[in-house]
Amino acid sequence: MNKTVKLEDLGSKDFKATWDYQEKLFKAILDTKIKNRREDAGLQTDNHFLFVEHPHVYTLGKSGDLSNLLLSESQLIEKGATFYKINRGGDITYHGPGQIVGYPILDLDNFFTDIHKYLRFLEECMILTLAEYGLKTERSPGETGVWLDVGTPFARKICALGVRASRWVTMHGFALNVNADLGYFDNIIPCGIRGKAVTSLNVELGIDKVDETEVKQKILKHFKVLFEAEFTNS
């Protein structure tokens, strides 16, 4: 089993270009697995972890409801945002500057073949990272992602999750609000959940800007422990 993960920080990159790149990496792993199955080739499969920040974009998961996007096409253009229907689970979400997006493209045969466990580990990675900033975050029953003040009128989401998996290969991932412009969430019903707010790390800490490089380092530290992985620069 190959537990080495190739790490790439793509900086700021268009959502569609990044999605295409994810698909390319995803397909390469699947092709290797199919070759191994057909030819008993014994080839090692790769694992990848992409960090990226997207320009303003709304994405709708395959089971999502388009009515959760509250903007017309002309209003999207006005706000400098794009919109895509994509092939992950979950409903609608927003990506934009000040948000750390992580796309682990893993062959779970190298780790564990359990999608539920995979999602819980991604959540745990965020929970442990945010604990280092003094925040007590947790899961909300029946709702993926990471939240504050669950079960109160002040419940708010700080990290969204949405993944796709095929033959135990994953793509898409998480979006953690670090220095996000929360006004863009007003244009959707986030994740299709009404009446619950969204927050960002800088807002919770009461500061203008959190060091995003530091947050990424903490995420990788906890991911490495949870998945018993090693990182290498791609």
Report the binding-site residues for substrate: 88-95, 160-162, 173-175
What is each CA distance from 116 to 123, 141, 192, in whole angstroms?
A: 11, 13, 20
Q: Are 128 and 223 in contact (CB under 8 A)?
A: no
The 8-class DSSP code of residue 188 comes to B
- How far, in Å, CA of 234 to CA of 221, rounded? 17
Rounded to whole angstroms, how far apart are CA atoms 201 and 146? 12
Identified catalytic residue from 50, 150, 169, 191: 191
Is 125 among the residues known to form the active site?
no
Three-state secondary structure call for residue 156: strand
**Which residues sit in the known binding site?**
88-95, 160-162, 173-175
At residue 90, the 3 state secondary structure works out as: coil
What is the identity of the amino acid at 62? K
Q: What type of residue is 104? A: P
Q: In degrees to the nearest 10, what's the CA dihedral of 211, 119, 55, 191?
A: -120
What is the Cα–Cα distance from 133 to 226, expressed in whole angstroms? 19
Positions marked active-site: 191
